[in-house]
Amino acid sequence: MTVIARFEIDFVQFLDHLGRVIQPLPAFARDPQALIPLYRSMVLTRTFDAKATALQRTGQLGTFASSLGQEAVSVGTAAAMRPEDVLVPAYREYGGQMMRGVRIEELLLYWIGDERGSDFSGPRHDFPICVPVGSQAGHAAGAAYAFKYRGEPRVAVCILGDGGTSKGDFYEAINVAGAWQLPVLFVINNNQWAISVPRAIQTAAKTLAQKAIAAGIEGVQTDGNDVVAVRFAVERALDKARGGGGPTVIEALTYRLGDHTTADDASRYRNAEEVKEKWTYEPLARLRNYLFGSGAWTRTDEDALLAECVGCVQKAVDNFLAIPPPRPEQMFDHLYAQLPKALLPQRAAAIEEGADRG
Amino acid sequence: MAEVNLVQAINMALAYEMEHDPAVLVLGEDVGVNGGVFRATVGLQNRFGKERVLDTPLAEALIAGMSIGMAAQGLKPVAEIQFSGFIYPTLDQIINHAARLRHRTRGRLACPMVLRSTYGAGIHAPEHHSESPEALFAHIPGVRVVIPSSPLRAYGLLLAAIRDPDPVIFLEPTRLYRLFKQEVPNDGEAVPLDACFVVRQGRDVTLVSWGASLYETQAAADVLAQGGISAEVIDVATLKVLDMNAIVESVGKTGRCVIVHEAPRCAGFGAEIAANLAEHGLLSLLAPVQRVTGYDVVTPLPRLESQFIPSVKRIVDSVRRTMEFV
Exposure class string for A28-64: b at 16+ Cβ within 10 A, else e? ebeebeebbebbebbbbbbbbbbbbbebbeeeebbeb
Residues near B303 by beta carbon (within 8 Å), at least 6 away in sequence: none
For A228-241, letters b (16+ CB in 10 Å) and e give bbbbbbbbbbbebb
Are A221 and A10 contacting, i.e. CB atoms less than 8 angstroms apart?
yes
Q: Is the pLDDT of residue B326 over 80?
A: no
In this predicted model, what pLDDT tens digit does every residue of A150-164 receive, in sequence order?
999 999 999 999 999
On the question of pLDDT at A16 being above 70, the answer is: yes
**d(Cα A29, Cα A231) in Å, to the nearest integer?**
10
Q: Is the pLDDT of residue A355 over 90?
A: no
pLDDT of residue A219: 98
Closest CA to B23 of B91, B76, B100: B76
Q: State what percent of residues in chain A have pLDDT above 70.
A: 100
Q: Distance (Å, rounded) from C-alpha A7 to C-alpha B104?
A: 42
Q: B214, B200, B144, B170: which is closest to B78 by C-alpha? A: B170
Angle in degrees, CA A192, A193, A198, rounded to 5: 85
Alpha carbon of residue B195 to chain centroid = 13
Note the pLDDT of residue A255: 98
Average pLDDT, chain A: 97
Query: What residues contact A270, with CB distance under 8 A and at least 6 apart?
Result: A193, A196, A198
Beta-strand relationship, B53-55 and B205-209: unpaired
> How high is the pLDDT of residue A311?
98
CB contact under 8 A, A115 and B97: no
Compute the distance between CA of residue B289 and CA of residue B277 in angstroms, rounded to an integer.
Answer: 8
- Cβ atoms within 10 A of the Cβ of A286, count? 24
Is residue B103 within 8 angstroms of chain A, CB to CB? Answer: yes
Q: How many CA atoms lie within 13 A of A357 on its CB side?
A: 7
pLDDT at site A86: 98
Residue B152 amino acid letter? L
Q: Is the pLDDT of residue B1 over 80?
A: no
Q: Catalytic residue among A92, A231, A260, A286, which?
A: A260
Please tell me which residue in A256, A281, A286, A290 is annotated as part of the active site.
A256
Q: Is A332 on the interface with B (CB under 8 A)?
A: no
pTM of the model: 0.97
Alpha helices by DSSP H, listed for B186-309, are: 213-226, 244-254, 269-280, 302-308
Give the tens place of pLDDT for each residue, A208-262: 999 999 999 999 999 999 999 999 999 999 999 999 999 999 999 999 999 999 9
Beta strands in A102-170 (DSSP E): 156-161
**CB B16, CB B159: distance < 8 Å:** yes
Pick the closest to residue B157 from B137, B135, B184 (CA basis).
B184
CB of B157 within 8 A of CB of B6?
Answer: no
- CA distance linking residue B297 with residue B317, whole number of Å: 21
B137: amino acid identity, one letter: F
What DSSP line would sit under B163-206, residue for residue?
A: HSSS-EEEEEEGGGTTT--EE---S-----SS--EEEE--SSEE
Taking every pair of C-alpha atoms in chain B, what is the biggest distance, in angstroms?
Answer: 63
Rounded CA Rg of chain A: 21
A250/A219 Cα distance (integer angstroms): 6
Write the residue in B70, B164, B165 that is nearest to A145 by C-beta. B70
The share of chain B scoring above pLDDT 90, in percent, equals 99
Contact partners, residue B82, CB within 8 Å, separation at least 6: B28, B29, B30, B36, B37, B117, B118
State the Cα–Cα distance between residues A16 and A351, nearest whole angstrom: 58
B129 is catalytic: yes
Distance from CA of A229 to the nearest CA of B (A): 29
| Rounded Cα–Cα distance for residues B257 and B240 (Å) | 20
Q: Do B66 and A141 touch (CB under 8 A)?
A: yes
ipTM exceeding 0.85, yes/no = yes
Tell me if A132 and B92 make a contact (CB, 8 A cut-off).
yes
Q: Is B301 helix (H, G, I), strand (E, B) or coil?
A: coil
Contacts of B113 in chain A (CB under 8 A): none
- Shortest Cα–Cα distance, B196 to chain A (Å): 12
Amino acid at A144: A
CA atoms of B208 and B220, how far apart (whole Å): 12
pLDDT of residue A358: 58
A235 and A12 Cβ atoms separated by less than 8 Å: no
pLDDT band at B152 (very low <50, low <70, confident <90, very high): very high
Name residues whose C-beta falls within 8 Å of residue B2's C-beta, 6 or more positions apart in sequence: B183
CB A228 within 8 A of CB A26: yes
The CB density around residue A226, as the number of other CB atoms within 10 Å, is 29
Instruction: Give the separation between CA A228 and CA A60, rounded to whole angstroms.
Output: 35
Residue A24 has pLDDT above 80, yes or no: yes
Q: How many CB pairs under 8 A join A and B?
A: 144
Q: How many of the other CB atoms lie within 10 Å of CB of A327?
A: 12
Residues of chain A with C-beta less than 8 angstroms from the C-beta of B106 = 115-116, 118-119, 333-334
**A140 part of contact set with chain B, CB < 8 Å:** yes
HEC secondary structure over A23-73:
CCCCHHHCCHHHHHHHHHHHHHHHHHHHHHHHHHHCCCCCCCCCCCCCHHH
Kindly name the residue from B97, B129, B139, B261 that is annotated as catalytic: B129
- Concerning whether A270 is annotated as a catalytic residue, the answer is no
Contact A236, A189 (CB under 8 A): no
By Cβ distance, the residue of B70, B92, B107 closest to A334 is B107
